[in-house]
Amino acid sequence: MSEERRLEVLRAIVEDYVSTREPVGSRVLTERHRLGVSPATIRNDMAALEEAGLIAQPHTSAGRIPTDKGYRLFVDRLAEVRPLSVPQKRAIETFLSEAVDLDDVLTRAGRLIAQLTGQVAVVQYPSLRRSGLRHLELVPVGGERLLVVVITDTGRVEQRYLEVPSAAAGPDGTAGTVLDDGTLGELRARLNAAAAGKGLTDLPVTFARVVESLDPTLVDLATAVAETVVETLGEENEERIVLAGTANLARASMRFEQGLSPVLEALEEQVVLLGLLTEMAVDGVAVRIGHENRLEGLAQASVVTSGYGSGDEGGDPVAILGSIGPTRMDYPGTIASVRAVARYLSRVLPH
């Protein structure tokens, strides 16, 4: 009863079950996989695999299906990486290169993954907290409001409205003195000169230094702007997520035993989903199978993710993307797709 063949049997079971969606029995296994032994032998192996908790039978006298643990072993040791085909790679490249801005890139990445895997895709926006400031823009809006536009290293653009602090307004109550183009231009120039390239950690100090050196009438305004910028970059809940391919879910709905509403619900809880993603932040590809996900709703689902935007290899990735599908998914294919898109994305994004 060679250990080796037993694993081969496990692989066969996983592959068959994934492609047919039916519990697989000893007979079909021998027919479809040239294992060189008879069904009876397979049955012995299967008994051992079941003993080890790698496979299970839905009911007596039914075929076997892999358990979460079985999938785990398959992914870790049995799955062969299957690189994408050249046309596929080319498709990714062209489709992504057609994007006009960051939003567009991420949306397209989502659609790509959804289409390649036939599952749901999740793409997290580049984390603001890990981004540096590229440029800061101040636009007066109406008399008393200022639009603060923050452009990050990663090409993300965030905007916040700011009520101009009343103390900054002229003595007659109008804000004319401060909000004219010249003053604002100078403030912008100073702030930008000092802060360019700096990240969340350095910014407060940097800004403080700039504020000190300013004309007293500008201090209040500058402080408010600085605060807004730091807040914007520090906001945790402002993290965004793109979902794509929800329709795929419905099409594959029979694959989820308990219906797909728990899954859809989990997907709608963006906060929770974000937690899941950041938890999985690694540079390479990570796989969570079934109950390995702490989320109730995803107990029947597996999540395949990869970090992206970590520059040219190494370092913490700037955000995560991935694909979510039934535990009985095509792991090698999904992993390949997710990785491929993540890599291209890393290359395309400004770094």
Partner DNA sequence: GGATGGCACTCGGAAGGCTGGAGTGCTAAG
Partner DNA sequence: CTTAGCACTCCAGCCTTCCGAGTGCCATCC
Provide the binding-site residues for a second copy, judged by CB under 8 A. Answer: 100-103, 134-135, 137, 139, 141-142, 147, 149, 151, 155, 157-161, 181, 185, 189, 238, 240, 244-247, 249-251, 253, 259-261, 264-265, 267-268, 350
- Judged by CB under 7 A, the residue of 32, 39, 95, 348 near DNA is 39
Considering only the stretches 54-62, 78-86, 148-156, 164-172, report the one whose residues sit in contact with DNA under the rule CB under 7 A.
54-62
Considering only the stretches 36-44, 81-89, 241-249, 303-311, report the one whose residues sit in contact with DNA under the rule CB under 7 A.
36-44
The sheet that has 145-152: what strands, in order across it?
Answer: 133-141, 145-152, 157-163
Considering only the stretches 55-63, 170-178, 300-308, 342-350, report the one whose residues sit in contact with DNA under the rule CB under 7 A.
55-63
Instruction: Report in angstroms how near the CB of residue 254 gets to DNA at its nearest.
Output: 12
Query: Which residues face 133 on adjacent strands?
Result: 152
What 8-state DSSP symbol labels residue 297?
G
Picked from DNA, a second copy, none, the partner binding residue 38 (CB below 5 to 8 A depending on kind) is DNA
Say if CB 329 and CB 79 are below 8 A apart. no
Give the burial class of 116: count Cβ atoms within 10 A of its Cβ; 0-12 exposed, 13-18 middle, 19 or more buried.
buried
Binding mask 64-103 for DNA (x = CB under 7 A): x---------------------------------------
- Judged by CB under 7 A, the residue of 63, 66, 326, 332 near DNA is 63
Residue 3 interacts with DNA (CB under 7 A)?
Answer: no
Beta carbon nearer to a second copy, 101 or 215: 101
Spatial separation of the C-alpha atoms in residues 289 and 276, rounded to whole Å: 13
Picked from a second copy, DNA, none, the partner binding residue 2 (CB below 5 to 8 A depending on kind) is DNA
Name the H helices within the chain: 3-20, 26-33, 39-51, 68-73, 86-97, 102-117, 176-179, 181-195, 203-212, 216-234, 246-251, 261-268, 270-279, 331-348
Neighbours of 221 (CB within 10 A): 25
Instruction: Report in angstroms how near the CB of residue 104 gets to a second copy at its nearest.
Output: 8
Q: Which strand (E) or helix (H) includes residue 145?
A: strand 145-152
Token digits of residue 234: 């520090």
Beta carbon nearer to DNA, 16 or 68: 16
Spatial separation of the C-alpha atoms in residues 193 and 269, rounded to whole Å: 40
Token digits of residue 98: 């057609």
Beta carbon nearer to DNA, 65 or 105: 65
Considering only the stretches 45-53, 139-147, 205-213, 328-336, report the one whose residues sit in contact with DNA under the rule CB under 7 A.
45-53
Beta carbon nearer to a second copy, 89 or 160: 160
∠ at Cα 59 (56, 65), nearest 5°? Answer: 30
Token digits of residue 106: 């991420």
- Judged by CB under 7 A, the residue of 7, 8, 32, 43 near DNA is 43
- Judged by CB under 7 A, the residue of 21, 27, 209, 251 near DNA is 27
How far apart, in Å, are the Cα atoms of 128 and each of 152, 156, 294? 8, 8, 26
Interaction site with DNA (CB under 7 A):
1-2, 5, 23-28, 36-41, 43-44, 46-47, 50, 57, 59-64
